[in-house]
C-alpha cells in the first residue's frame, strides 16, 4: 500500500459527494467543511430509506453547499452534479446484507450500474483530480485466521458484497484502461453519529431503550472490526491528496470483537442485565443471512 508525501490541499476545491445524506457520507461532508472551510460541496443523494436530509441541516443556506436529489444511475443528473468537480467521493450504495438477499437486483443496479454511470461521466471531466470509490471489507468474504490485505482474494458471500466487489473492480478498470485517477477504499464496520437505526449498534441501543431483546445471530461468535465513522472520513480525506491512483486501501479500526461481546459492552453501558435483554432472537431465515467471522 503506497501513499504520497503530504502536501498543502488546494484552496476552494469543488467536491461531489454522492450518498452524502446517508450515515458515512454526511459525516464526511461535516468533516470536509471543517477541514476545508472554503470548499464548494455538492451532495447527490436519492434519499432512499437510510438517507436523511436532517444529517445535512447545518449546511442549509450555506453559500458553498448544494443538494441535488437524484439517482447515480441517471446519466443526466450525474452530468449536472459532476460538472466542474475536482474530487468525486462515491458513498452512494445499497448496503444492507439481509435486504440484498431479498432484492439483489436493486443492489446490482446501484452498486454496479450506478458506479459505471459515475465513472463514465468522470471521463468527461478533464479537471477531475480524484475519484474515490468507497468499497467495503465485505468483498473479501470470510477468513479463519490472520487478516485480510489489499491483495487478498475477493470472495464475496452475499449479493451485497458481490455488487460492491463489482463496483470496486469496475472503478479499478477505469484507472487501468482510461487512466482515471481512481482510488478504492475498503473499510470495516462503521459506528458513530447519524447511523441509520437498522445498523447493529443503534439497533441494539434503541431495542434496549424500548425494553426489547436484541437480535443476535446464533451464539453471537461472529467477529467484526469496528471503525469510528470520523476516523474513516479522515482516512478518505487524507487519501484524496496522499493516495496513489489505482491503489486499494483497507481502512480498519483495530477494534475486533465478537457480536456477543459487543452486546455485553452495550448492556453494561446501559446498565441492563444480560439475562433480561440479550437472549438470542432469530427471525425466520435469519441463519441464511448470517455472516461468518471476519478479520481485517
The 3-class secondary structure across the chain, one letter per residue, is CCECCCCCCCCCCEEEEECCCCHHHHHHHHHHHHHCCCCEEEEEECCCCCCCHHHHHHHCCCCCEEEEECCCCCHHHHHHHHCCCCEEEECCCCCCHHHHHHCHHHHHHHHHHHHHHHHHHHCCCCCCCEEEEEEEHHHHCCCCCCCCCCCCCCCCCCHHHHHHHHHHHHHHHHHHHHCCCEEEEEECEEECCCCCCCCHHHHHHHHHHCCCCCCCCCCCCCEEEEEEHHHHHHHHHHHHHHECCCCEEEECCCCEEEHHHHHHHHHHHHCCCHHHHCCCCCCCCHHHHCCCCCCC
The catalytic position among 45, 137, 225, 241 is 137
In terms of phi and psi (left: phi > 0; alpha: psi -120 to 50; beta: otherwise), the region of 94 is beta
**Exactly one of 94, 111, 138, 168 is catalytic; which is it?**
138
Active site residue 150: no
Residues 140, 160, 172, 217: which is the catalytic one? 160
138 catalytic, yes or no?
yes
CA distances from 29 to 34, 76, 101, 193, 237 (A): 9, 23, 30, 13, 10
* Known catalytic membership, residue 231: no
Residues known to be catalytic: 137-138, 160
Amino acid at each position: 500500500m503506497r501513499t504520497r508525501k503530504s502536501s498543502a490541499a488546494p484552496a476552494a476545491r469543488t467536491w461531489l459527494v454522492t450518498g452524502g445524506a446517508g450515515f458515512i457520507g454526511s459525516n464526511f461532508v461535516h468533516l470536509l467543511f471543517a477541514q476545508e472551510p472554503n470548499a464548494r460541496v455538492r451532495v447527490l443523494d436519492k434519499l432512499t430509506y437510510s438517507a436523511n436530509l436532517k444529517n445535512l441541516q447545518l449546511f442549509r443556506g450555506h453559500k458553498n453547499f448544494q443538494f441535488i436529489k437524484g439517482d447515480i444511475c441517471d446519466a443526466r443528473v450525474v452530468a449536472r452534479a459532476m460538472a466542474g468537480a475536482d474530487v468525486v467521493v462515491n458513498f452512494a450504495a445499497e448496503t444492507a446484507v439481509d435486504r440484498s438477499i431479498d432484492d439483489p437486483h436493486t443492489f446490482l443496479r446501484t452498486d454496479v450500474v450506478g458506479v459505471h454511470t459515475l465513472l463514465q461521466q468522470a471521463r468527461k471531466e478533464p479537471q477531475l483530480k480524484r475519484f474515490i470509490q468507497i468499497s467495503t471489507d465485505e468483498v473479501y468474504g470470510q477468513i479463519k485466521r490472520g487478516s485480510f490485505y489489499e491483495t487478498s482474494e475477493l470472495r464475496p458471500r452475499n449479493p451485497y458484497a458481490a455488487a460492491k466487489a463489482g463496483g470496486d473492480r469496475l472503478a479499478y478498470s477505469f484507472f487501468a484502461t482510461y487512466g482515471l485517477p481512481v482510488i478504492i477504499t475498503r473499510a470495516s464496520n462503521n459506528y458513530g453519529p447519524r447511523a441509520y437505526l437498522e445498523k447493529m449498534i443503534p439497533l441494539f441501543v434503541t431495542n434496549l431503550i424500548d425494553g426489547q431483546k436484541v437480535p443476535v445471530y446464533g451464539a453471537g461468535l461472529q467477529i467484526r472490526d469496528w471503525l469510528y465513522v470520523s476516523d474513516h472520513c479522515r482516512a478518505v480525506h487524507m487519501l484524496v491528496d496522499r493516495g496513489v491512483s489505482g491503489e486499494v486501501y483497507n481502512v480498519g479500526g483495530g477494534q475486533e470483537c465478537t457480536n456477543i461481546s459487543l452486546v455485553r459492552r452495550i448492556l453494561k453501558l446501559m446498565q441492563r442485565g444480560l439475562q433480561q435483554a440479550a437472549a438470542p432472537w432469530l427471525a425466520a431465515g435469519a441463519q441464511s443471512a448470517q455472516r461468518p467471522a471476519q478479520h481485517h
